[in-house]
Amino acid sequence: MRLETRTPILFTLMAAVFMAGAVPLVTADSASALDCEPSDFVTGGGFIVFPNGAHGNFGVAGGCKNGAFWGHLEYVDHGSGLAPASAPTPFRVHGTEVIGYVSFDETTREFAGRAETNDPNHPTVTYCVRVTDNGEGQSGTGDFFGIELSNDSLFYFAFDTLVSGNIQPQKGNQPPNGVCFIPPP
């Protein structure tokens, strides 16, 4: 499990440009992220376990339906120690809007949006979620969940394979390629 708090990140819908000084490390085509072409969608739920034994529970869905981005996010960190000091335990994230949906590869989908948290210093945030379906019956060895939260800078980052749960892509066309979720080096 890799968990980390990092410094500034610039989110532009699904196009993220990470800067090291003035050198972009990763870019994605923002034009494809702005289009909501009919595509598949993904649903999932379950939990990951942090090194201290605390759980990160989630329920997600995202995609493009009827010409509009669609989805939801519910996430609860039950005491990982990664949440900002100002955040209560459990730290809660409730998605309020999906603003982009892309394909990272054949089994991985990413979607971004806006969310509310119960942290008084970060009441509204931008999120990026990455989910991967590595086959049925693969909990603990395959399916993946990751989440990044930012406002002016990235302040929360967690990801791992699921200990329990399932990620399930639903039938449809693969969405445009892109990336919003960048694991730390």
Taking only the tens place, the pLDDT of each residue in 140-177 is 458 999 999 998 889 999 999 999 999 998 877 666 66
User: Can you give the pTM of this predicted structure?
Assistant: 0.77
In-domain check, residue 42: yes
In-domain check, residue 182: no
In-domain check, residue 164: yes
> Which contiguous run of DSSP H or E holds residue 131?
strand 124-132
In-domain check, residue 183: no
In-domain check, residue 181: no
In-domain check, residue 76: yes
Taking only the tens place, the pLDDT of each residue in 61-97 is 998 887 788 999 999 999 999 999 999 999 999 999 9
The 10 Å CB-count burial string (b at 16+, else e) for 108-131 is bbbbbbebebbbeebeebbbbbbb
Please indicate whether residue 135 or residue 30 has the higher confidence score (pLDDT). 135
Range of 44's domain? 2-170
| Main-chain dihedrals φ then ψ at residue 95, nearest 5 degrees | -65, 140
CA–CA dist 18, 25 (Å, integer) = 5
The answer to whether residue 9 scores a pLDDT higher than 60 is: no
In-domain check, residue 185: no
CB 156 within 8 A of CB 50: no
In-domain check, residue 80: yes
Taking only the tens place, the pLDDT of each residue in 113-125 is 999 999 999 999 9
Q: What is the DSSP string of 6-52?
A: -S--EEETTEEE-EETTEES----HHHHH---S--EEEEEEEEE-TT
The answer to whether residue 11 scores a pLDDT higher than 80 is: no
For the chain, the domain total comes to 1
CA–CA dist 27, 20 (Å, integer) = 13
The predicted structure's pLDDT at residue 120 = 95
Tokens of 84: 């900002």
24 pLDDT band, cuts 50/70/90, is very low
